[in-house]
Chains A and B, each alone.
Chain A
């Protein structure tokens, strides 16, 4: 069973230290995502159906709304990883560049000595629960900036990068995003969403995936995870009740969903989380 050793929430987003030994399901989220290997055997992260190594020298950068999942290579031993979920809005204020958006130029990141020092410094500070880490935000900013800059080096768009080429969204997809956002707590059927916005089911799925980058199912899962994480961190509500609020019929089904999308059980996440 994967474990969460420490979780910090802050203006920057979230940073987690996970001991991972099981494969996750494909998922995505609105944050920019960085995964660094800290200890144990190497693993792999599959991003848009391509596998990237997660090892001492190789980290993985996932852009917002890119489908991905972690998969272990040696199942008998777990891998300790530092996992960052950075809010694009925070990076906007913290970044030094005149281009916005936490969209990475490539997935594979070489862990240089500089990045490695930051990774281990952050992991150590997170495990030292007796001392408040005043530098955590600075370190996370340096890590994100370092990985971001490297991801755009030697790419065709390189320094000319002015942000991702976003497809023009269909107004029906825009409406669907609103419906899903508003009714994330209800057991909402995607067929119904398609019907409400005036699209057939196959057309809705195809258009949604082309314009958002994820299937509607994965998008809805991401919204549920966001809501679940927020409630686990900021409310006193029982885990089972949070699950019910999000449309799950039992605590077991909510836990299964949370583990496969977010590594650890919701109760373990709540125990580990600290708001920085």
Chain B
């Protein structure tokens, strides 16, 4: 079964783009969609495949390229203006985290979004991860359909596969540790962790391994579905530091997870045993140490100073972390001072 109707419609199959996109456009009655992408010119043949699959629309849809990182607020305004100018009736977010986030911010009840990830990080569900300041009252909507096609994610370099994979793993981890009562989300998160432990290193080693790619996309899907419970302190701290340092989202998780897990342990350490089992770790192993070792094996830094983050950034980053929406669902109340202490220990 490739249709999963938990939260929204999710098509998950290799080469699903060509069959599912015309189907979803017709179901939603979209004739003039706007494509938002953060894929650079000539970076991937995925955009050609997307244009081919869109040959059912009366005209070639308008396409807006947005930056994959940095402050996305200006891109959101540009997209909004283009939307009004072209009279588009739907948004297709195609690419990485930023494209999918902006598509969800631009969409509304009259103008649904379809998200199509080309990275194994996020599929366009759950809290936004990009640095974008939306207009007051503007909220990210749930995509009307998500198309997960692992063949679109082939060929990513080891570095981006590692950051994407670690980010998806942390989405599952923090969703599971969230204290909201949501048994299906817990189960989904654990299954994501299990798959990630089995396939992340293979995917980093070989960008053309379709099985590993498919599994990591499944982890990203599980992370998105489980994110109904919200994220936690690792995401919050990472957002704060990334905004100020320009680091790629996911690159700092390996350095931050040890301190944050220790901080949260008094509230949720009883859940660590279940996580160890899902990850296939020995019963008495130290979860934080094992995850840091995994980060090291896939080439991610385990100290913030490894990628040039200095102590001067920490107070402002900690304040941002404390104000981040992900902090609201952290199992323990964490203040800016707590974040600064955790970040300092990770330098």
Contacts and interface: CB of A to CB of B under 8 A. Distances in A.
Nearest to B13: A100
Given A89-B20, A100-B13, A169 B2 contact: no
A161 B304 CA distance: 42
A173 to B, nearest CB: 9
Contact of B52 (A89, A163, A169): A169
Contact of B14 (A88, A89, A162, A182): A162
Contacts, number: 83
A99 B45 CA distance: 19
A180 to B, nearest CB: 10
A163 B60 contact: no
Interface string B29-48: 00000000000000001001
A51 interface: no
Nearest to A211: B52
B52 A92 contact: no
Interface residues on A, range: 20 to 34
A233 interface: no
A96 B48 contact: no
B133 interface: no
A174 interface: yes
Nearest to A169: B52
Contacts of B12: 98
B19 interface: yes
B23 A92 contact: yes
A164 B16 contact: no
Interface string A146-178: 000000000000001011101011010011011
A95 interface: yes
B207 to A, nearest CB: 15
A96 B1 contact: yes
Contacts of A169: 48, 51-52, 55
A89 B19 contact: yes
A101 interface: yes
A89 B15 contact: no
B52 A166 contact: yes
B49 A162 contact: no
Contact of B55 (A96, A166, A177): A177
Contacts of A163: 14-15, 18, 151
B214 A178 contact: no
Given A162-B14, A178-B57, 7 more contacts: A95-B13, A99-B14, A100-B2, A100-B13, A163-B14, A169-B48, A174-B51
18 contacts: A88-B19, A93-B3, A98-B12, A98-B13, A99-B14, A100-B2, A100-B11, A100-B18, A100-B19, A101-B18, A162-B210, A163-B15, A163-B18, A168-B45, A168-B48, A171-B51, A177-B55, A178-B57
